[in-house]
Structure 1
Amino acid sequence: MTALNERTASELAQMLAAGDVSAEELMRACLERVADREETVQAWAFLDPEIALANARTADARRKAGAALGPLHGVPVGIKDVIETADMPTENGSDLFRGQHTGRDAVCVAMLRNAGAVIMGKTVTTELANGCPSKTRNPHNPEHTPGGSSAGSGAAVAGFHVPLALGTQTAGSVIRPGSFNGIHALKPTVGRIPRDGVLMQSHTLDTVGVFGRSVEDLALITDSLSDFSATNVSRYGDRCAELVSAIQPDILAPRFAFLETPAWAEADAGARKAIEGVVAGLGAQCVRESLPSPFDRIIDFHGAVGAGELLAYYGHHAEVSPHKVSALLKERLADAKGVGAGDYISALLARRPLNEALAALLDRYDAVLCLPAPGPAPRGFATTGSPKFNGLWTYLGVPCVSLPRLSVDGLPLGVQLVGKPGEDGKLLRTARWLDRTLA
């Protein structure tokens, strides 16, 4: 029988709603796993068992009182430590914010609480959600990185500490940890999940994303974090869980456009062989495609936007409190000063024609299929891995999902799917089909 802490969030939500298990029982199972593995994995920036259990008991009390229950009632969720939580510190992985308690919930955390979720604790982030590696280790092999910057969230879900977690992505900080840790991960359309109360690194690129153990998990939590008011219905009109659950055996199999993307030269031989095997196995359902020549510059465009906005948000910290900023971040900020205003504006303006070209391709296919990383998680902790297979999609603001269906050298590697902006539900429906096909 599968242990409680190893079940999917979708399964747990049903069990909790039916009264087959209590939120406190589930939380205790998760905390026992943390006690066994945290010394090795080091996924948590803040975790107070008493606070976690008290939050779980509150959920149980609501159920016993006959209160209305949300779709995530009693389900534990880990929160990346760049996202504000009223009852826990938010330190942003940085000495600049050590001991900070804002006393506020980010909008996305408030939405989780309204959906009945139990906030378990704060997961480790890299410094200011940037590239300086964190203390977290990959639960599949602690000699390898879990990726970044959502290192703790990816490792906590993969290590069976918690069934769901929030992350953020400015380059590849959701999809890459999803791939490296062998779990399901979604970077939704930019803006779908509210960013109020989330540390800002780039107002153009920053996207709140989610980690889970199934496509259904991703749909469940994404719907709980989505605003379906009249003002948003035209942009985010699809309810992911409804589309994912609507799959029937007689529905036509989806079609995929395989793209090597401009980062293909950096992929290692094992990763290329693994993804080519998926393409070959899909046969006529997957067609090798290419995009117009401006896509050759898309990695540079993403870099220019990210560097310009990184400097605007963090540059003053390196000047005012240099002893609290890592050497790596100082180096990145120094490099960002070389990005001129013209380069930044040109990169912003290039998004529209590139999005139009991608949309034209996706008019003929259900999703783009590509690698989520150059290979599996690198050994050692000098880097969190290259985000070049992710940054181009973050730059375009489109939804992406990573499915844990490949393995290279005994380590996980995901399959990345990309969809049109606002069509997150359709992308997850397509992902569910592929996930089951490759399982």
Structure 2
Amino acid sequence: MMTDVTRLPVVELRDRLAAGALSALEVAEGFLARCEAVEPEVRAFAFLDPEHVRAQARRLDEHRKSGRPLGRLHGLPVALKDTIDTADMPTENGTAVDKGRRPEEDAVAVSRLRQAGALIFGKTVTTELAYFAPGPTRNPHDLERTPGGSSQGSAAAVAAGMAPLAVGTQTAGSVIRPAAFCGIVGFKPSFGLIPRSGVLTQCRELDTLGTFARDLEGAALLAEGLQGHDEGDPDTRPLAALPLLSACGEMPPYQPLFAFVRGPTWDQAAADTVEAFAELAGALGEIGGTGPDGEGICDEVELPEEFAEGIEAQLRLQHVGIARNYGHYLDRHGELMSPVLRQAVEQGRALSAIEFLNAKDWAAVLRDGLDRLFERYDAILTPAAPGEAPRDLAITGKPAFNALWTLLGLPAVTLPLLAGENGMPLGVQLVGRKGEDERLLRTAAWLQRSLTADDASTTTREAKLA
């Protein structure tokens, strides 16, 4: 029987490609067929050229036949948010102003993907300049609901089975939130782990590349291939590469401890989110028993009131970045810009230098304030979004449960472990200490394994499209 490549776990797909059990062209054809079936409804892609996909696949198969070494991502299709420069495809940043824009060279992240043997599958829809005005993409679980933003196309493409892997960016909640809404895994690594040269800049102090997959191992594998120092990105550092994939398969040296944090935006959590997380915290007690000191493995931890300042600090930094980096769009083509983006530019321009510097200071102060928490707990447990994806395609939802962790540069991952009152996915977000991405992924994998496998609310949810 023919293998449905779109349903294979990412690591298994990689291994079959490496062993020659599947050719890159066979894999490409499988995902192209899926795109033909569901893309007209989901509308996840800003650019998809099937013949270009096939040409890349044939070159990868020829490379294999030559006997030369294979890259770690050989033959794996990867979809890219349309804010990431590609020399062989348009990069239009979700705005009519950049329609037809074709970069002269690849972003550093894209170069690394090609070097690793990945097949660049296409460019996915982003909101206007990766802010809040949505594109045409719809949620594969319910076409009347938003897929989130701003990496909406990347999340929807993976959730609908049109690509096994995708790359997005996050400045507030643009990886974690759409992954949660679409019922897949989203991984936002520590700030500075993945270089951003050749990626649309919204706010240098916040912008972070992240990965999407239907399983944790896939998201880790992709991030592992993207990480590393880049002289063109001053926020990266020359450090040894982290073995992110292997961390997902390791057993923790001791039973993980979780800090259930409601956070300063808990009043925005929907009723089904509140109920679901109460049940999850209780389930952790039943699954894990007690921790090494005889206490429960999931404690509720209340953050000091000062952390509420972090929400405003993130927004100030983002608005200043938008004013600085998008101001020229408004000045030259204001008639083509959405009201929400024009307002953000104006708000950023109204902020003083003192307000900007104070916001940067808050990031360092609050991050230091969490050090003692991470000395005891392996991860913060908190919602990935206020609730289910809103039934409104004119909005992308709120980054209320993401912005604080983005400000602090902490690694975060969302797992599709829960369901809301309408059967839509609810993401469980785990947050780790900056630079300890391996520990976070190991803890996330433990959590997945520990939850009852046959409970429909604790397994990766299939998109409802046929």
Contact 1:92 1:199 in 2 (8 A): yes
Deviates more, 1:321-330 or 1:23-32: 321-330
The letter for the 2-side match of 1:163 is P
Unpaired stretches in structure 2, ≥5 consecutive residues: 286-295, 452-458, 460-466
Displacement of 1:434 in angstroms is: 0.8
The letter for the 2-side match of 1:12 is L
Matches within 5 A, 1:212-223: 212-223=213-224
Question: Which residue number in structure 1 is paired with residue 188 of structure 2?
Answer: 187
- Partner SS for 1:363: helix
1:253-297 deviation digits (Å, cap 9, x = unpaired): 211001001110000100111111111111211100022221021
Contact 1:219 1:425 in 2 (8 A): no
Say how many residue pairs are matched.
Answer: 437
- The whole-number CA distance in structure 2 between the counterparts of 1:54 and 1:247 is 41
Question: Which residue number in structure 2 is paired with residue 369 of structure 1?
Answer: 381
Deviates more, 1:320-329 or 1:364-373: 320-329
- Partner SS for 1:345: helix
Matches within 5 A, 1:68-107: 68-107=69-108
Question: Which residue number in structure 1 is paired with residue 450 of structure 2?
Answer: 437
Contact 1:259 1:289 in 2 (8 A): yes
Question: Which residue number in structure 2 is paired with residue 396 of structure 1?
Answer: 408
1:4-59 deviation digits (Å, cap 9, x = unpaired): 11222211000101111111011101000100101100000000000001111111
Unpaired stretches in structure 1, ≥5 consecutive residues: none
The letter for the 2-side match of 1:410 is G
- The whole-number CA distance in structure 2 between the counterparts of 1:161 and 1:28 is 11
Confirm whether residue 419 of structure 1 aligns to residue 461 of structure 2.
Answer: no
The letter for the 2-side match of 1:85 is T
1:225-246 deviation digits (Å, cap 9, x = unpaired): 11279x9787565321222223
- Partner SS for 2:114: helix
- The whole-number CA distance in structure 1 between the counterparts of 2:283 and 2:156 is 30
Question: Which residue number in structure 1 is paired with residue 364 of structure 2?
Answer: 352
The letter for the 1-side match of 2:245 is A
Question: Which residue number in structure 1 is paired with residue 263 of structure 2?
Answer: 261
The letter for the 1-side match of 2:136 is K
Contact 1:193 1:225 in 2 (8 A): yes
The letter for the 2-side match of 1:348 is K
Contact 1:137 1:146 in 2 (8 A): yes
Displacement of 1:330 in angstroms is: 1.0
Q: What is the TM-score normalised by the length of structure 1?
A: 0.96
Contact 1:146 1:181 in 2 (8 A): yes
Matches within 5 A, 1:152-167: 152-167=153-168
Question: Which residue number in structure 2 is paired with residue 4 of structure 1?
Answer: 5
Match of 2:297 among 272, 285, 297: 285
- Partner SS for 2:425: strand
Confirm whether residue 177 of structure 1 aligns to residue 182 of structure 2.
Answer: no
Contact 1:240 1:426 in 2 (8 A): no
- The whole-number CA distance in structure 2 between the counterparts of 1:7 and 1:22 is 14
Contact 1:236 1:422 in 2 (8 A): no
Question: Which residue number in structure 1 is paired with residue 394 of structure 2?
Answer: 382
Matches within 5 A, 1:109-148: 109-148=110-149
- Partner SS for 1:36: helix
Change (3 A) 1:233 1:271: same
Change (3 A) 1:19 1:228: farther
Which consecutive aligned stretches of 4+ in structure 1 deviate over 6 angstroms post-superposition?
231-234
Contact 2:76 2:117 in 1 (8 A): yes
Contact 1:192 1:236 in 2 (8 A): no
- The whole-number CA distance in structure 2 between the counterparts of 1:115 and 1:57 is 16
- The whole-number CA distance in structure 2 between the counterparts of 1:407 and 1:355 is 31
RMSD: 1.7
The letter for the 2-side match of 1:91 is E
- The whole-number CA distance in structure 2 between the counterparts of 1:8 and 1:153 is 17
Question: Which residue number in structure 1 is paired with residue 328 of structure 2?
Answer: 316
- Partner SS for 1:337: helix
Contact 2:224 2:242 in 1 (8 A): no
% identical aligned pairs: 45
The letter for the 2-side match of 1:342 is I
- The whole-number CA distance in structure 1 between the counterparts of 2:312 and 2:239 is 28
Displacement of 1:127 in angstroms is: 0.6
Change (3 A) 1:246 1:228: farther
Contact 2:173 2:399 in 1 (8 A): yes
- Partner SS for 1:321: helix
Deviates more, 1:116-125 or 1:333-342: 333-342
- The whole-number CA distance in structure 1 between the counterparts of 2:281 and 2:202 is 36
